[in-house]
Amino acid sequence: MHNIVFAVIARDLRLALRRPADIASAVFFFVIVVSLFPLGIGPEVDLLRKLAPGVLWVAALLATMLSLPRLFADDHRDGTLEQLALAPHPLGLVVTGKVIAHWLISGLPLALIAPVLGIQFDLTADALLVLTGAILLGTPALSGIGAIGAALTLGLRGGGVLLSLLVLPLYIPVLIFGAGAVDATVSGLGGEGHLSLLAAMTIAAIGFAPWASAAALKIALE
Amino acid sequence: MTDRFNLYHYASPATFYPLAGRLIPWFAALAAIFGLIGLYIGMLVAPTDFQQGEGYRIIFIHVPASWMSMFIYLVMAFWAAIGLAFNTRLSGMMARALAPTGALMAFLSLWTGALWGKPMWGTWWVWDARLTSELILLFLYIGYMALVAAIDDPRRGDKAGGLLLLVGVVNVPIIYFSVKWWNTLHQGSSVNLAKSSMAEVMLWAMLLVALSFWMYSIAVAFARVRTLILERERNADWVKAELAGDRP
């Protein structure tokens, strides 16, 4: 039963690693967007330190959005998706594998690079640790919720813009608690509560979102 | 069996179309009557608020609009669930027909809230939990309308939109509570069934306007669903006969 999940993860990772430029471009998009903010706002360290969690999180949401259309589009174009839908395994498990693979390709690199960008914003060591933890915990939820949007907009005109219209409002809770965890740490309240809620959202999203995406894929493939 | 009232009879667009046409004037009339009485009580009968002066009277539009914006989203999700579960054609059309009215109500609620906020709070907009979640609700309506508009095949559009509505309705409480914990400045809910903080006459005015908005929404949604039915069923014989009969 779970072999299908691991098989899909291994396959998607292998395909993604053959085109490393795609992974790198999303990561550099993240780096560039975050670096633009000090240029727009000004170099005052106090202000930047206050803005850092929100800026990093919004940039992470946008970078995730950027890689979402590819989640199903390539497989849809060459017919793989239809074969996967015809396979005897539940489509929800296949999508679970694809969501986890998407997180390994897009979410994990963001979490690894985020502390470096946090240093640019003069965050303390504690805050950097919580920021990394929050992005690690929160981005799987982004991949899961995003998969629903990617499946709903599969093969539509202007799919990318439409996808962001559908998905960004649903990302708001993750943004609030992700950035809130860092804010709470900086202000000395402790971010454990926020991190727990982020983890809860991620568990819920990984558990339920693939089945909703599978239903959306079946509608799109009809 | 035949003489029992059959709900499924009206699930067919061909039978619902004339029914909706007959009901629209009634709902429109009720909307006008309730609206006139409610606004008369709200604007002229209800006493001036000792704290907020005359400016508080915008609440008679603001609160019903907010209620309707949330309620219509739930109704759309209900039709979406029916449509996905029973594969009925009319449900998707009902959800589509309600969406613009829901978005209008959400917009009205934000707009009147801003007009009320300027004299009361001294600012048009604050990032408060209720305002923000109402704004997000407006985004959800817009996302739904954009999705169904982008899908050419109407049946796929209905189903994809329906799924989005169900996902949205699961998320609405999560969004609401996360925004609420994030920041709260809005005054507490004015209407509370156990112990209302309002004068009774104000509550009546608000409920009457809410009823008026409700009737208005039904009338407008029926009018919209009729055009959707004509568009979808344009090749059906009954539509051709209907359109031929309308011609002078």
As a whole-number percent, the residues of chain B with pLDDT over 70 amount to 88
**Residue B1 confidence (pLDDT):** 41
Q: Please, what is the angle between helix B154-182 and helix A192-221, to 10°? A: 170
Cα distance between the two ends of chain A:
25
Q: Where are the domains of chain A?
A: 2-221
Residue B163 and residue A212: Cα distance in Å, rounded? Answer: 8
Q: Do the Cβ atoms of A166 and B174 come within 8 Å?
A: no
Residue B132: pLDDT band by 50, 70, 90 thresholds? confident
- Give ipTM to 2 decimals: 0.86
Residue A49 has pLDDT above 90, yes or no: no
Contact, B80 vs B98, CB < 8 A?
Answer: no
**Residue B246 confidence (pLDDT):** 61
Beta bridge partners of A168: none
Distance from CA of B83 to the nearest CA of A (A): 13
Residue B124 and residue B113: Cα distance in Å, rounded? Answer: 8
State mean pLDDT over B29-53. Answer: 83
Q: Do the Cβ atoms of B182 and A165 come within 8 Å?
A: no
Tens-place pLDDT, residues A67-106: 898 889 888 989 888 988 888 889 999 999 999 999 999 9
Using CA coordinates, name the residue in chain B closest to A193.
Answer: B181
Residue B101: pLDDT band by 50, 70, 90 thresholds? very high
Q: Do the Cβ atoms of B171 and A222 come within 8 Å?
A: no
Is A180 part of the contact surface with chain B (CB cutoff 8 Å)? yes
Question: Whole-prediction pTM value?
Answer: 0.87
Residue B4: pLDDT band by 50, 70, 90 thresholds? low
Is B159 part of the contact surface with chain A (CB cutoff 8 Å)? yes
Contact, A22 vs A16, CB < 8 A?
Answer: yes
Nearest to A149 by CA among A79, A99, A104: A99
As a whole-number percent, the residues of chain A with pLDDT over 90 amount to 52
Q: Do the Cβ atoms of A177 and B178 come within 8 Å?
A: yes
Residue from A65, A182, A219 whose CB has the most chain B CBs within 10 Å, to mutate: A219
What contacts B139, CB < 8 A, 6 or more positions away? A165, A168, A169
Residue B204: pLDDT band by 50, 70, 90 thresholds? confident
**Residue B243 confidence (pLDDT):** 79
Residue B2 has pLDDT above 60, yes or no: no
Residue B231 has pLDDT above 60, yes or no: yes
For the beta carbon of residue A46, count every other beta carbon within 10 angstroms. Answer: 8
Out of A148, A197, A201, the one facing B167 most closely (by C-beta) is A148
**Residue B185 confidence (pLDDT):** 45
Residue A126 and residue A177: Cα distance in Å, rounded? Answer: 17
Residue B183 has pLDDT above 80, yes or no: no
Contacts of B136 in chain A (CB under 8 A): 169, 172
Residue A121 has pLDDT above 70, yes or no: yes
Q: Cα-flanking dihedrals φ and ψ of residue B85, to 5°?
A: -75, -45
State mean pLDDT over A133-150. Answer: 94
Quote the DSSP letter at residue B42.
Answer: I
Tens-place pLDDT, residues B53-94: 777 788 888 889 999 999 999 999 999 999 999 888 899 999
Contact, A95 vs A213, CB < 8 A?
Answer: yes
CA torsion angle for B8, B13, B16, B21 (degrees, to 10)?
170
**Residue A28 confidence (pLDDT):** 93
Residue A186 has pLDDT above 90, yes or no: no
B53 in helix, strand or coil? Answer: strand
**Residue B248 confidence (pLDDT):** 44
Contacts of B145 in chain A (CB under 8 A): none
Distance from CA of B37 to the nearest CA of A (A): 38
Residue from A72, A142, A152 whose CB has the most chain B CBs within 10 Å, to mutate: A152
Residue B184 has pLDDT above 60, yes or no: no
Residue B197 has pLDDT above 80, yes or no: no
Out of B156, B179, B182, the one facing A222 most closely (by C-beta) is B156
Residue B200: pLDDT band by 50, 70, 90 thresholds? confident
Q: Is the dihedral of CA B7, B13, B15, B19 positive or negative?
A: positive
Tens-place pLDDT, residues A15-24: 999 988 888 9
Residue B163: pLDDT band by 50, 70, 90 thresholds? very high
Lowest mean pLDDT among A186-190, B29-33, B154-158: A186-190
Distance from CA of B159 to the nearest CA of A (A): 7
DSSP sequence for B217-238 = HHHHHHHHHHHHHHHHTTTSHH
State mean pLDDT over A7-17. Answer: 92
Residue B165 and residue A21: Cα distance in Å, rounded? Answer: 36
State mean pLDDT over B103-130. Answer: 84
Distance from CA of B227 to the nearest CA of A (A): 25
Quote the DSSP letter at residue B7.
Answer: G
Reading the block at residue B217, the tokens are 């929404």
Residue from B87, B134, B145, B151 whose CB has the most chain A CBs within 10 Å, to mutate: B151
Residue B125 and residue B109: Cα distance in Å, rounded? Answer: 12
How confident is the prediction for chain A on average, in pLDDT?
A: 90
Residue B174: pLDDT band by 50, 70, 90 thresholds? confident
